[in-house]
Amino acid sequence: MSSTKTAAGAGRPGTAGPHAEGPGTAGPHAEGPGTAGRGESPVIRPRSLWRNVPFQTLWIGTSSSTLGVSVADIAYPLTILAITRSPALAGLFAAVQGLGMLVAGLPAGVLADRYDGRTIVIVAEAAQAAVTAVVAMALITGWLSLPLLFTAAALLGAGQPVKGAARMLLMRSVVPPEQLTQALTQDEVRMNGSALAGPALGGALYAVRALAHAIPFLFTAGSFLVALITAALMKTPAGRPASPRPAGRATTASGNMLAGVRTLWDQPVLRAATLLIMFVNTIGAGLELIIIVILRHQAVPSSVIGLALGIGAAGGLAGAPLVRTLHRLRPGVLLLAMCMLDVVILALLAVPFGPWWVAGLLFTVMLGVPAIRVLVDILVIRQALPEQRGRVVAALMTLIGLGMPAGVAACGVLLEYLPAQAAMLTLAAVEAVAVACCSTRRELWQARWPGETAPDGHQR
């Protein structure tokens, strides 16, 4: 399962104010203020998202940036394997990138809460475009080295949470609360569409021998520039709060930075769900690297490898219409079921039936990913205090990614000493143990959606 994140059970029974989605909400799928009662004024419907120019501008820029990252995620390991023929070094690159994301994660939340999100996105996209362009030029001129690649990995990794947290708050500044679920569903098209097109495009661009295989890196740098331009053109509401530190709170910088972590960790359901996703992400962080090695051992061309990974990602697009259906399950049940399915898929990926077998399995497991991502927004992000929302987003991203650098590096080491199929089966076995341990937590099985009535009569 791709880097999904979730939590459940946020808020306390009967609370309103910052933990409520809006007047008249009755669960995760309630999107409006409800129908007007007798004698009340009719409800004014917001304009369609397709006519919301700031949101669509943000969406286009984010789509461009995500596509560039998806292309680069294929190009970097192929480049390192071509230079060093070492899966361990390819895994180390991804580990360094993940470490950069972790180091920047919590500070990114503070930045998003305190400063203008549009400015943060512009600076982050400019920095990532510059780093990628340097890598491309070094490859073209023959000066590309491992120290340069690892430096680029750290910088690129650090940029992801910085612009990610800022974009999350930017979306909320231009989309009415009652349209957030619809906006997130459209955002799933962006994420999964990029994951679908990116690997195939990355493999095809890398197969072009011109410019020393640097074309995918030039493409990625250009995609960051498109995202920068759209952020510069985006118009945000004039009254958007700058989220300064609340007056009268004598919190230290460290304590302020950890506010999002405390929000997640103080609630048993959120803590259990976060740990489960952290385990799954750690184990599956190097999955794509192992798949690439397995298919390369079967003499599959790089363009076909990218196509197979892209077809697998189409499951995310197909899964977007299933969000409401899957959300009929309790949130903890849905999360555990998806993780158990992931264990089965990992074991089946070890069977060497070629690229289309891999594509079909990845397609299957990706069907539930949109439902998990929207689940996160409903149960965690929408329930957070507005002045802490950036820190909650960053804390969630940081905690669930905590073990990913070690997971990627471990996959590279496994590939050095084990056949690729044995490495895949090892991942399946370890994940099975982690999921079995987390499934013993009663709070996950009993977690309910916000506004849902429990058997004891209390509203969650």
Q: Rounded to whole angstroms, what are the CA distances from 380 to 151, 187, 353, 394?
A: 33, 17, 40, 12
Say how many CA atoms lie within 13 Å of 6 toward its Cβ: 34
pLDDT at 364: 93
pLDDT at residue 238 in the model: 54
Sign of CA dihedral 133, 139, 145, 150: positive
Residue 45 has what pLDDT? 63
> How many residues in total does the chain contain?
460
Angle at 205 between CA 216 and CA 188, to 5 degrees: 75
Contacts of 112 (CB under 8 A, 6+ apart): 120, 165, 166, 168, 169, 243, 390, 391, 393, 394
Rounded distance between C-alpha atoms, residue 53 and residue 294, angstroms? 44
Query: Tokens 């006519």, residue?
Result: 51
Q: What secondary structure does DSSP assign to 41-57, as a single string?
A: PPPPPPPPGGG-HHHHH
291, 292, 295, 301 alpha-carbon torsion, rounded to 10°: 150
pTM for this entry = 0.68
How many Å apart are CA 125 and CA 231, to the nearest integer?
Answer: 9
CA dihedral 124, 128, 130, 135 (to 10 degrees): 170
pLDDT at 196: 72
Element housing 182 (H / E): helix 180-207
3-state helix, strand, coil in the chain (%, to 5): 75, 0, 25
Q: How far is CA 29 from CA 83, 177, 379, 453, in A?
A: 50, 12, 12, 14
Mark residue 249 as left, alpha or beta (left: phi above 0; alpha: psi -120 to 50; beta: remaining). beta
- Residue 452 has what pLDDT? 63
Task: Give the model's pLDDT for residue 128.
Answer: 95
> How many CB atoms neighbour CB 353 within 10 A?
12
| Cα–Cα distance, 274 to 375 (Å, whole number) | 13
Strand partners, 453: 459
Cβ–Cβ under 8 Å, residues 290 and 415:
yes
pLDDT of amino acid 451: 67
Closest CA to 297 of 415, 420, 425, 426: 420
Residue 115's region, left for phi above 0, alpha for psi from -120 to 50, else beta, is beta
**Residue 45 DSSP one-character state:** P
What is the structure's pLDDT at 38? 42
Q: Which residues of 374-387 are buried (b: 16+ CB within 10 A; e: fewer)?
A: bbbbbbbbbbbeeb
Tokens of 163: 């612009």
Q: Is residue 222 a contact partner of residue 68, using CB atoms and an 8 Å limit?
A: yes
The answer to whether 385 and 18 are in contact (CB under 8 A) is yes
Sign of the CA dihedral with 392 first, then 10, 47, and 195 last: positive
CB 19 within 8 A of CB 12: yes
Rg value, the chain, Cα: 22
**Which residue stretches of the chain have pLDDT < 70?**
1-47, 195, 236-255, 383, 451-460
The gap from C-alpha 41 to its chain's centroid, in whole angstroms, comes to 40
Question: At residue 216, what are phi and psi to the nearest 5 degrees?
Answer: -60, -30
Q: Structure tokens of 155?
A: 């910088």
Residue 453 sits at φ, ψ, to 5 deg, of -85, 130
The owner of tokens 């700058």 is 242
CB 170 within 8 A of CB 117: yes
Which residues lie across from 459 on neighbouring strands? 453
